[in-house]
Every structure is written in C-alpha cells, then in structure tokens.
C-alpha cells in the first residue's frame, strides 16, 4: 500500500493560521505537562478517577444509492478536513491458493498504477499539491480505499478517489515493482524471530494451507500476472458490494450530490454473491514444535489453541479475563515476570475475530535456559485462572481497566464511523459495542471462572519455541516426549531450481 501525503506547494493564509494554532496548543500543553510532572508522584493503585461520562454516538446519516452502494455521512466541523473510506467485500482469503499474494497486489496496484484519466505520476502530483491522499489495499477479510483532503479540495480529491475505485488500469510496470518489493520481503522474512513465531504459529493453529495462515512464496508470486489483478478487481469491486463512509467538514446536501454525481451511475452487479467463508478446523490438537535458530540467545515462545468470535455472548467476560491475565497488575506480569523473573515480556489473551475463529494465545520472550520453566509457568497460570476464583480486587481492577479503555473507541468521529461500517460489513448490530459495555459491567468472578473453564483448553495447547535448541536446557522434551522441528528454509525462486 502506497501513501502519498506531503506538504502542498500552495500554502495559503488559512493553512498558516491553522499551523500556528496547532503549534501554540502544543506549547501550552507541554507547559502544563511540565507543571504536572513536578507534583508528587503516586502509585498507579492510588490514583482515583471520576466516573466515566456516558458515551453517545455522534449524529450520522445512512442511505443507499439505487445501485446498492451503502453510504454513511458524519459531519465534523472542528477542522477543515474531510476523509472517507470504502469497504469492499473481498479479501486475500478468497484468492487462489496457487496465487497467494494476488489480493495484496490488486490492492496496491489499484492506486500505484494510475487510472484511465490520470497516469500514476499525474495522480501523485495533483495529490501532493493539495497535501491530500488516496490509498487502497486489500487485507485478509476486506478491501479498503480511502481519501483525505482539505475541505476546499474535496471535490477534486473525491473525484480522484472515485477514479481509482472505478477506473484503475493496473499498469504492468507497477505490478513488476510490487513483485520486486515482495521478493525482498520473502528474502527477509526470517530475520526477526518474533515474526517467525507469529507466522509459524498461525500455521500450526489453522494449517499451512489455510487462507488464514498461508504465506506468499516466490513460486506463487511468479504465477501472478496483470490479467489476474484485473479479473480479481472485476469480481468484487461493484457498488452493491461496498460501504462508503465520509466524515469531516462538509455540507451534507452538497456531499450527497457529489456522491451521486461520481458514483450514482456506476452499474450494480446483479449476480454478485457473498463468497462462502473457508472452513476453520484446528490443524493440531496439541504438540510441541521448535524452530531452531542457533544464533539466538533467547527464545520466542507462543502457546495456544483455536479461539472464537466477537459475537459469542461470552466475549465480554473473556475480555475481562484478558485484563486479569495481562498488563501491570495482571497475573502473568506479577507472577511470571516480576516474581519468577522468567520473561522480558509476557502476555495471554483470548483474541477473537468478526466472522471466523480467532486464537487463544499466550507467550513472550525469555532466556534460552529458562524456556521450559517459562512454558510451564504459562500453563500453570492458565490452569490457575480455571481453578482459582479471581479476587474481588482483581475483578474490580480488570473491569475498571476494560471500561476505562472503552472511551478510546470514540476518540474521534472518524474512528466511530469506521466502527459502524465494520459492524455493518460483518453483520453486527450498530450498538454492539454498547451491549458489550453493559455485559462487562455485569461480569462476575463466577463468570470469569466459568469462561476460563469452558474456553481455555490446557489439554489442547500447541507450543511453539523459536530459539537456540542446544542452549535450551533443560530440553524441550521435558514438555513432551516428541518435539517436532519446523523447517523455515525459504524455497528458492522457480528459475533457481532449473
């Protein structure tokens, strides 16, 4: 995904005044912060906070064009800025297995390859002159196109945004550039042990051929041609297959007219259907696996199993359970890091997804000679939260932390609008987050123990260690009689095999 956003060449008085106001605000806030820092420091447990004010959604408008395009409008006149996002029902999970990387290339080259009316350089220059941005990408479960502009440049930038949505040309040379960059990423993918652990753990949980775990290779990259990008685009990019949201300083009547003028004549595809979601069975019920990296002096450890979705009624209680385990004052930090001194970092969380099972995952980084003890400590804490009821103090702290962080879901109208769009995209109710908030308030210690027993499966834990196997003493065989090695050797490019 490319981003083109630099200072514009035409700097008018309004921009200068706006910049001066921002600078002054920063100076004042820095001065106030310095005064506050001189006050007597307190322990975090001694801090007291006023009750949270009730959070309400900003006013917004939702309507649907005749071609099926769903539109959200949310006004915000605090700054002379407008931004917008289109969510497209697509994703890399629907790309062919033999062409992994196709969706990502489609999302990238949509923007970098220019449009029928503007070459890539022309598109970049117009945006740069206005300090504006147009971006596109395709992730695992959604396509995304966005724009940012000053209010006075809205019509021009929105026009370019709709061009990119409707008339991308997928220039071959830009695809070649994207493939070259991808080759570099493949070559460097084993440089970071944490990246190795994350990538290989997903394969252990979902299966190496699952669309939620497979990785781009030289061979899959070489099979992708420009025609594949065009076909993938044509399959999914239709007005009745997307949601458009715009937030900022605009006149709603004029914005409606602009949307109608630029997108109203885009023909719907009456044959489009929502693709069937891939099945997600657990790939491994249990087991200990190792990626031997002799150059390492510490181990990256991940343990866990297949998890669940956000729409599970027990998700709020599981999220409070996460707070019991994690962060300053959490059981893992207090026990594994502080008391036993086994970890540089440690965490454990139930991590759901919107429309397919997520993962329960725990782990961290530890010394090579403490690896086995670290894994056993994680396992012990998982069992302890199942068998030992959380204290009233633990529960209160976990619920307060969860509820106090709730406000950060509504830091600005753009973030709120994005959440509303995602809920519609995945078929969730618009007030889902408020239902979650109420359920968190109602969570009890008994609920925490119940969900821990129901959803955490210590008997089905998959364990992955990335580290120096020789230096891991006692050996990993203390965890299981069989330790399965994982080969992360990068397959050679096809031409190198001839």
Q: How many other β-carbons are positioned within 10 Å of the β-carbon of residue 79?
A: 12
**pLDDT given at position 189:** 97
In contact, 76 and 57? CB cutoff 8 Å: no
Q: How far apart are CA 302 and CA 289, in angstroms?
A: 10
**pLDDT given at position 38:** 44
In eight-state DSSP terms, residue 310 is T
**pLDDT given at position 411:** 78
CATH 3.30.830.10 residue ranges of the chain are: 61-263, 287-485
**pLDDT given at position 387:** 95
Q: How far apart are CA 63 and CA 65, in angstroms?
A: 7
CA atoms within 13 A on the CB side of 440: 23
**pLDDT given at position 264:** 97
**pLDDT given at position 60:** 94
* CATH no. of 287-485: 3.30.830.10
Determine how β-strand 81-88 pairs with β-strand 345-351: unpaired
Helix (H) and strand (E) counts in the chain:
16, 12
Residue ranges of E strands in 328-368: 345-351, 359-367
**pLDDT given at position 30:** 47
**pLDDT given at position 36:** 46
Q: How far apart are CA 441 and CA 316, in angstroms?
A: 9
15-20 long-range contacts (CB < 8 A, ≥24 apart) are 15/150, 18/79, 18/80
In contact, 133 and 148? CB cutoff 8 Å: yes
Q: How far apart are CA 82 and CA 76, in angstroms?
A: 8
Residue ranges of E strands in 311-394: 345-351, 359-367
pLDDT 10s digits, 319-350: 999 999 998 889 999 999 999 999 989 999 99
pLDDT 10s digits, 117-127: 999 999 999 99
State pTM to two decimals.
0.86
**Residue reference for tokens 């997520």:** 358
Which residues in the chain show pLDDT less than 50?
1-18, 20-22, 24-25, 27-39, 497-498
User: In this structure, which CATH number among 3.30.830.10, 2.40.30.10, 3.40.228.10, 3.60.150.10 belongs to the domain 61-263?
Assistant: 3.30.830.10
**pLDDT given at position 412:** 86
**Residue reference for tokens 């598109």:** 123
């Amino acid at each position: 995904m490319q981003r083109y956003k630099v200072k514009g060449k035409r700097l008018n008085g309004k921009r200068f005044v706006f910049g001066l106001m921002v600078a002054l605000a920063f100076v004042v806030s820095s001065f106030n912060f310095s005064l506050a820092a001189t006050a007597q420091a307190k322990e975090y447990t001694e801090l007291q906070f006023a009750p949270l004010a009730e959070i309400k959604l900003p006013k917004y408008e939702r309507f649907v064009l005749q071609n099926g395009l769903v539109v959200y409008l949310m006004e915000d006149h605090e700054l002379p800025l407008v931004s917008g996002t289109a969510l497209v029902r697509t994703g890399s999970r629907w790309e062919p297995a033999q062409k992994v990387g196709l969706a990502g290339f489609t999302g990238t080259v949509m923007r970098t390859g220019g449009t029928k009316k503007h070459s890539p350089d022309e598109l970049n220059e117009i945006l740069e002159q206005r300090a504006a941005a147009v971006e596109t990408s395709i992730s695992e479960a959604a396509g995304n196109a966005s724009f940012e502009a000053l209010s006075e440049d809205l019509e021009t930038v929105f026009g370019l945004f709709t061009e990119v949505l409707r008339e991308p040309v997928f220039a071959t040379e830009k695809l070649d550039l994207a493939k070259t960059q991808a080759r570099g990423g493949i070559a460097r993918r084993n440089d970071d042990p944490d990246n190795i652990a994350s990538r290989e753990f997903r394969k252990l949980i979902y299966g190496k051929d699952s669309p939620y775990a497979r990785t781009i290779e030289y061979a899959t990259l070489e099979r992708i041609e420009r025609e594949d990008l065009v076909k993938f685009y044509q399959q999914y990019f239709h007005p009745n297959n997307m949601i458009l949201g715009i937030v900022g300083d605009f006149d709603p009547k004029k914005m409606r007219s602009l949307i109608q003028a630029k997108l109203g004549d885009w023909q719907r595809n009456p044959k489009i259907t929502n693709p069937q979601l891939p099945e997600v069975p657990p790939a491994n019920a249990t087991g200990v696996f190792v990626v031997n990296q002799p150059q390492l002096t510490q181990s990256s450890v991940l343990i866990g199993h297949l998890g669940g979705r956000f729409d599970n009624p027990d998700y709020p209680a599981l999220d409070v359970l996460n707070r019991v385990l994690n962060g300053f004052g959490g059981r893992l930090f207090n026990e594994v890091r502080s008391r036993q001194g086994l970890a540089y970092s440690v965490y454990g969380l139930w991590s759901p997804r919107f429309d397919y099972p997520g993962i329960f995952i725990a782990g961290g980084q530890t010394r090579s000679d403490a690896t086995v003890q670290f894994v056993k400590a994680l396992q012990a804490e998982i069992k302890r939260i199942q068998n030992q009821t959380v204290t009233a103090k633990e529960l209160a702290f976990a619920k307060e932390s969860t509820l106090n962080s709730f406000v950060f879901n509504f830091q600005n109208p753009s973030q709120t609008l994005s959440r509303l769009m995602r809920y519609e995209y995945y078929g969730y109710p618009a007030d889902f987050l408020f239902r979650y908030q109420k359920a968190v308030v109602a969570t009890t210690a008994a609920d925490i123990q119940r969900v821990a027993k129901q959803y955490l499966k210590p008997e089905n834990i998959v364990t992955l260690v990335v580290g120096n196997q020789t230096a891991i003493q006692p050996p990993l065989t203390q965890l299981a009689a069989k330790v399965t090695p994982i080969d992360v050797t990068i397959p050679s490019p096809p031409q190198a095999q001839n």
